[in-house]
Each structure stands twice: as C-alpha cells, then as structure tokens.
C-alpha cells in the first residue's frame, strides 16, 4: 500500500503525476507481480498489489489505468483436469483459476477448448484459468508437445479464439497486439474445428491469414528433429575445440530444443516422449527406435556441456549438469533418486554388462569422469572416489581415468 503521507509531510497525491504513475507501474505491472517458484517443478505465480485501488477515488482511477496496461488471456474448457495439467505439467503460470478466472472480464483474448461432442452452452465458462500475454507462448508450446506425445489429440478438439478490447468499445486492436495474441496458436495444428472472432473489434485479415498459414506448416518428423539435433551438437563441438565455449553452450541448448527438450538456466524439461518411441524410417538411424537415438544425443550433449563448463572453470555448473544426469541414470537403474552418492559403491548400481548395453556408454563414462573432476575442484572428496570408480566401469582403458584412480588409491594408503 502506498502511504498517504511521506516522511517529509507530503501526501502521495502531492507527487507529480509522472512519479505516481511510475509507482503504480511498480506495484501493478505483471513483471512486478510475478513470483518465481522456489521449486523448479512448480510454475510461477502472481501477486498483484490491488489494495492500492482502495485508497481513494483519485488513486483508484489513476492506478486502474496502469493496471489495464496488463494484457490477459482467459482459457476455458469443460475439463478441470486440463486446467491443472496446463499449470502443473505445462508449468504455465496462472494469474488465477476457478471462480475468479470465470468471472474476470478484463481480458483481450478468450480461448475456448472443447470437443464437437460438447455442447457450447455447457462447456463455456465451466472451468477457466487466467494467464498473462507473456506466458501465452508457453501455453501453446505445452499444447504442441502434448499433441506430439498423443498423436491425433488435436483431431478431437475444437478451438475458438475471441479477441476483444475489454476497456473501450469498438476500439481497433493494433496489428502488433493482434499478432502477439493470435500467432502463438500457429503451433496448434490439425484441429477438428478452429475459428477466430472479434468481439467489438475487427480481426485483421493479414494476421488471421498468417496464423492459418503457420498452422499448415507440418511439424518436423522425429527423424528430422534428431538429425537437426546431431548437426547442432557437431557444430557446438567444433566451437568447443576452437575455444568458443559460450557459443558452444548456446548450440548445445539449441540441440536440446531440436529434440523437444527445453533448457532454462538449470531447469531442463523433457517434452514429447511419445513422439520418439517408434522405429525411425529414414535418415542416419533408420531402423533404430527414436527414443534410443534421442538418449544417445542427450548423453553426448551433457558430456560436452560438462566439459565446456570445466574449461570455463565453472566447476559448480559442471558438477550440477553431470550430477543431475547421473542421479537420473541411477534412478532409472535402482529407483533411488537421492542426490547424495558420495558413499555409494558404484558396483551396486553399475555393471560391466550394463555399461556395454547402455546407449552412448562412452559419453556416459565421460560424464562420470568429468563430474568427478568438477567434484575434485570443489573439494567433494567422497564424490570423486565414487564417480571415478563408476567412470572406470565405462572407460576401463582410459588413461586419464586410470591416472586419477591410481592417485586416489595412493592417497588412501
């Protein structure tokens, strides 16, 4: 709440209008209201300081104009589990859900999702969530990934988009804003029914046509996605050898994106698993299951990312990337997802037989070795012993691994 009177005896309303507007923006803008999650598995949330609207009539009218600069999108569906899926699995931040979202009217875009078998009067308004325009692409990408994993999903869905200016009747919505509201839906393809409407405003034909043209573009096949991912990885490897380490890391992140894995800081989210579970029908890996090839690329990328961070002397980041992959690997073998593996006997969850059968076993060995070297630099002695022994299972003839193991054994004597 903004104080009515400052320490100097001035009332808030005595400040220039420009200063007041700046303060309103700090309090009521989407950027200021956004609360990042403490857990990476949770979506962000929003907390708008709307109590300022209760101060007095003048502040109410001034602050409301600033709040109306925020652009909101309302999503409505007859399925409550869909709303929860968007929030939890898709990690799409919501301003509000439930009754608050259903009764909210100051939105610029209304997204109706149902099926032809669902009567419109019953479906609209059943379950809603409100999101910010800034998160609309996250929503459409999540929907895109869901359709890839569940082939044919969109063929059973009906989508209706309604654009409006919630504040001024019959005011034309600028082309740039129409593009931001509509074009993200270019990712949502092959729907049973799709329509775009303007309520108290006109949809620009050029924007609608651009959207429909985008929807016609077919998604890359699993074969094409994997080929692109390997090409980006190879280009990153070239930069890594040349010493362009940051540029190499950027290409490795692009390679992950090519196979539907998003990387944001330390958060890595895997999408569209179901898209790769079939045998590839063309390309370098024809006849091999796509998920097998995808695992190979993922492991190779992590091994190279850990190496890049080692070369950058960012040992904490190298350790994080390597350890995360190793923890996931151990979980897949034993079901143990704890992060502490310093006192582990690697032979309890590794074997030479498993190492030979594991996709990209040499790259996996490099992850163990390079993570051990990061642990060494960070003074994590227990980790070094466990990781280097594990590296030896995968790389039994590697001179660098043998040298480190010898040094460890001599240090224990």
- Please write the tens of the pLDDT for every residue from 185-228: 999 999 999 999 999 889 999 999 999 999 999 999 999 999 99
Judge whether residue 336 has pLDDT over 60: no
* DSSP designation for 130: E
Hey, which residues does 269 pair with through a beta bridge?
Answer: 262
Least confident of 38-42, 88-92, 168-172: 38-42
Going by pLDDT thresholds of 50, 70 and 90, the confidence category of residue 123 is: very low
- Mean pLDDT of the 215-244 span: 97
Question: pLDDT tier at 65 (50, 70, 90 boundaries)?
Answer: confident
Q: 222-412 domain in CATH 3.30.390.50?
A: no
Name residues whose C-beta falls within 8 Å of residue 356's C-beta, 6 or more positions apart in sequence.
Answer: none
pLDDT tens track for 78-98: 988 888 888 887 889 999 998
Whether residue 52 has pLDDT greater than 70: yes
Percent of the chain with pLDDT over 90: 56
Residue 412 confidence (pLDDT): 56
Q: What is the DSSP string of 195-264?
A: EEEEESS---HHHHHHHHHHHHSPPPPHHHHHHHHHHHHHHHHHHHHHT-HHHHHHHHHHHHHHTTEEEE
CA distance 387 to 325: 12
The mean-pLDDT minimum among 61-65, 100-104, 173-177, 397-401 falls in: 61-65
Diameter of the chain measured on Cα atoms: 84
Whether the predicted pLDDT of 262 surpasses 50: yes
Average pLDDT over residues 231-242: 98
pLDDT the model gives residue 413:
46
Q: Of the ranges 27-41, 139-153, 253-267, 300-314, which one carries the lowest mean pLDDT score?
A: 27-41
How far apart (Å, rounded) are the C-alpha atoms in residues 28 and 51? 10
Average pLDDT, the chain: 87
pLDDT at residue 353 in the model? 52
pLDDT of residue 237: 98
State mean pLDDT over 264-271: 87
User: How confident is the model at residue 234, as a pLDDT?
Assistant: 98
What are the domain boundaries of the chain?
A: 1-70, 71-210, 222-412
- Which pair of tokens denotes residue 239? 């930069």
Q: State the pLDDT at residue 87.
A: 84
- Which has the higher per-residue pLDDT, 233 or 358? 233
Model pLDDT, residue 383: 87
Which tokens in the block code for residue 381? Answer: 């002695």
CB 276 within 8 A of CB 291: yes
Res. 358: pLDDT tops 80: no
CB atoms inside a 10 Å sphere around CB 196: 18
Give 27's pLDDT tier (boundaries 50, 70, 90).
Answer: confident
Is the four-CA dihedral 9, 11, 17, 19 of positive or negative sign?
positive
Q: What is the pLDDT of residue 354?
A: 54
DSSP 170: T
């Amino acid at each position: 709440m903004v104080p009515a009177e400052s320490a100097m005896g001035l009332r808030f309303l005595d400040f220039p209008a420009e200063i007041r507007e700046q303060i309103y923006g700090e309090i009521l803008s989407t950027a200021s209201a956004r609360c990042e999650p403490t857990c990476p598995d949770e979506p962000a949330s929003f907390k708008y300081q709307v109590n300022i609207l209760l101060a007095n009539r003048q502040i109410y009218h001034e602050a409301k104009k600033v709040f109306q600069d925020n652009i909101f999108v309302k999503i409505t569906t007859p399925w409550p589990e869909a709303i929860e899926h968007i929030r939890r699995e898709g990690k799409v931040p919501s301003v509000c859900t439930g009754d608050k979202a259903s009764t909210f009217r100051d939105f610029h875009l209304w997204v109706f999702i149902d099926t032809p078998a669902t009567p419109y009067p019953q479906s609209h308004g059943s379950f809603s969530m409100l999101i910010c325009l800034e998160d609309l692409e996250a929503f459409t990408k999540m929907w895109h990934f869901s359709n890839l994993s569940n082939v044919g999903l969109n063929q059973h869905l009906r989508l209706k988009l309604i654009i409006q200016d919630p504040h001024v009747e019959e005011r034309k919505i600028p082309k740039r804003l129409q593009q931001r509201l509509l074009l993200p839906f270019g990712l949502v393809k092959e729907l049973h029914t799709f329509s775009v409407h303007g309520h108290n405003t006109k949809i620009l034909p050029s924007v609608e046509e651009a959207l429909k043209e985008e929807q016609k573009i077919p998604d890359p096949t699993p074969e094409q996605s994997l080929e692109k991912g390997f090409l980006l990885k190879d280009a990153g490897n070239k930069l890594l050898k040349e010493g362009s380490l940051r540029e190499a890391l950027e290409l490795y992140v692009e390679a992950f994106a090519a196979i539907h894995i998003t990387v944001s800081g330390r958060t890595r989210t895997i999408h569209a698993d179901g898209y790769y579970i079939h045998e590839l029908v063309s390309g370098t890996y024809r006849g091999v299951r796509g998920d097998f090839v995808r695992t190979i690329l993922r492991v190779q990328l992590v091994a190279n990312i850990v190496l890049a961070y080692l070369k950058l002397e960012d040992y904490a980041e190298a350790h994080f990337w390597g350890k995360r992959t190793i923890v996931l690997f151990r979980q897949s073998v034993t079901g143990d997802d704890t992060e502490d593996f310093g006192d582990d006997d690697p032979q309890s969850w590794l074997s030479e037989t498993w190492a030979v059968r594991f996709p990209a076993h040499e790259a996996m060995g490099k992850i163990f070795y390079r993570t051990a070297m990061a642990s060494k630099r960070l003074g994590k002695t227990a980790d070094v012993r466990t990781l280097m022994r594990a590296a030896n299972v995968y790389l039994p003839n590697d001179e660098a691994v043998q040298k480190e193991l010898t040094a460890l054994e001599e240090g224990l004597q």
